[in-house]
């Protein structure tokens, strides 16, 4: 299905071959889901999730790398008869259902010129060592709040997945504020300014006790450390019910905050990702992107929403990869009247797509109004 919103330009910015692994006996299998922020001089800084795995293979075994207590990578070799590997991202134990990743993650700094697409420097790996991130850091987001850049990222370990917060002023030195949303919570994005005296986050709690479709929630904090006043914001299928669209068919699998909220004259533009339920034999469904418009003073109030996904996998590099058919927007930069969205493609590549901001805003339908 083609995009309902016309793309002005699409590029594959970074592929696995473009970034070196952290060690010689590993290979990069994914460079994707990048956090991105535009600096005052117009240049763009990106934190790219890099997934790598050992090049060594052993018959009858599955490799699962992890960081040990010293921050060094160790490889556990799991008996292949004990696990299923239908999902290439993980080995799932047959007896317990517990999962181990088949790769390990780190974040790497990449800098771009003011056009947002020309790489000027590939920087260092973000050094992060913690018991709640023994499989590395994943899926970062960057929000500028005053003079500080706040980075949320997912820590993955045998404890599950949680969200940690880092702050930086130069993307060279990072301060660790620790876990801000514990397991199982991810896809956390921060608003770029306080609302009614509080920091505000959109997060995505999940759990095994499922009584509803996946949802995004809001939370508030006085200091970025402690979060409360949790309340649901938007869930899978809400678009179909509220704006007369077909949201239930494209977002009934997963949903989560994608790009940090963008202040516009009409309200907070919130671009999010979602996936449909997988078909028979498929590990996950197709990932696409939608958008919301939230009230500037009361972000719990949804003013308008996409009647359907405005961005779907179209290009080969979005359809073919480590996980097929994924567009996963995670950052943005402005180029005049256009918005450049940075996204993970097929859990393999970094892409950028450009839209007219006005077209995107105009495509949203007031909540409660038939499309």
What digits encode the pLDDT tens for the residues 145-160?
999 999 999 999 989 9
Compute the average pLDDT of residues 170-184: 94
Side by side, the strands of the sheet bearing 83-84 are 83-84, 90-93, 99-101
Q: Between 41 and 183, name the one with better pLDDT.
A: 41
- For residue 184, whether the previous peptide bond is cis, meaning omega lies within 30 degrees of 0, is yes
Is a pLDDT exceeding 80 seen at residue 245?
no
Compute the average pLDDT of residues 228-256: 82
Task: Enumerate the β-bridge partners of residue 315.
Answer: none
Q: What is the pLDDT of residues 68-93, one digit of tens each?
A: 988 899 999 999 999 998 888 889 99
Contacts for 87 with CB less than 8 Å, ≥ 6 apart: 283, 284
Contacts for 134 with CB less than 8 Å, ≥ 6 apart: 66, 67, 68, 156, 157, 158
Q: What is the pLDDT of residues 114-131, one digit of tens each?
A: 999 999 999 999 999 899
Of 82-96, 136-150, 240-254, 312-326, the range with the lowest mean pLDDT is 240-254
Q: Take residue 42 and report the two structure tokens written for it.
A: 């117009």
Is a pLDDT exceeding 70 seen at residue 13?
yes
Closest CA to 14 of 46, 62, 42, 57: 46
Q: Take residue 55 and report the two structure tokens written for it.
A: 């090049």
CA-CA distances (angstroms) from residue 81 to 52, 95, 128, 250? 23, 11, 33, 35
Domain residues of the chain, as ranges?
Answer: 9-366
Q: Quote the CA–CA distance of 341 and 3 in Å, as a whole number.
A: 15
**Domain boundaries 9-366, corresponding CATH code:** 2.115.10.20
Closest CA to 220 of 262, 257, 177, 190: 190
Contacts for 26 with CB less than 8 Å, ≥ 6 apart: 52, 53, 54, 55, 65, 73
Side by side, the strands of the sheet bearing 338-345 are 9-14, 349-356, 338-345, 327-335
pTM of the predicted structure, to 2 decimals: 0.94
């Amino acid at each position: 299905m083609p995009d309902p919103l016309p793309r002005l330009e699409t590029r594959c910015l970074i592929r696995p071959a473009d970034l070196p692994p952290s060690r010689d006996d590993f290979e990069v299998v994914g460079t994707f889901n990048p956090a991105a922020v535009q600096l005052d001089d117009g240049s763009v800084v990106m934190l790219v999730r890099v997934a790598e795995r050992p090049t060594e293979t052993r018959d009858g075994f599955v490799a699962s790398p992890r960081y040990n207590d010293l921050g060094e990578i160790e490889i556990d070799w799991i008996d292949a008869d004990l696990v299923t590997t239908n999902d290439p991202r993980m080995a799932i134990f047959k007896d317990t259902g517990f999962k181990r990743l088949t790769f390990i993650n780190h974040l790497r700094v990449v800098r771009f010129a003011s056009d947002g697409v020309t790489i000027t420097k590939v920087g260092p790996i973000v050094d992060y060592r913690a018991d709640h991130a023994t499989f590395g850091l994943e899926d970062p987001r960057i929000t500028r709040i005053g003079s500080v850049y706040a980075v949320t990222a997912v820590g993955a370990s045998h404890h599950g997945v949680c969200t940690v917060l880092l702050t930086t002023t130069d993307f060279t030195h990072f301060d660790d504020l620790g876990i801000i949303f514990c397991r199982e919570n991810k896809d956390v994005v921060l608003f770029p300014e306080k609302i009614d005296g509080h920091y505000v986050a959109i997060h995505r709690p999940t759990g095994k006790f499922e009584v509803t479709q996946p949802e995004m929630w809001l939370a508030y904090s006085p200091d970025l450390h402690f979060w409360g006043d949790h309340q649901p914001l938007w869930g899978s299928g809400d678009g179909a019910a509220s704006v007369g669209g077909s949201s239930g068919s494209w977002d009934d699998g997963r949903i989560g905050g994608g790009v940090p909220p963008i202040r516009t004259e009409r309200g907070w533009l919130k671009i999010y990702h979602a996936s449909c339920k997988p078909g028979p034999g498929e590990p996950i469904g197709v990932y696409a992107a939608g958008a919301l418009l939230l009230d500037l003073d009361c972000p719990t109030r949804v003013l308008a929403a996409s009647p359907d996904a405005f961005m779907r996998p179209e290009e080969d590099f979005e359809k073919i990869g480590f996980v097929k058919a994924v567009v996963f927007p995670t950052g943005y930069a402005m180029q005049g009247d256009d918005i450049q969205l940075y996204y993970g493609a097929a859990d393999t590549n970094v892409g950028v797509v450009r839209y007219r901001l006005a077209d995107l805003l105009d495509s949203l339908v007031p909540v409660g109004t038939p499309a």
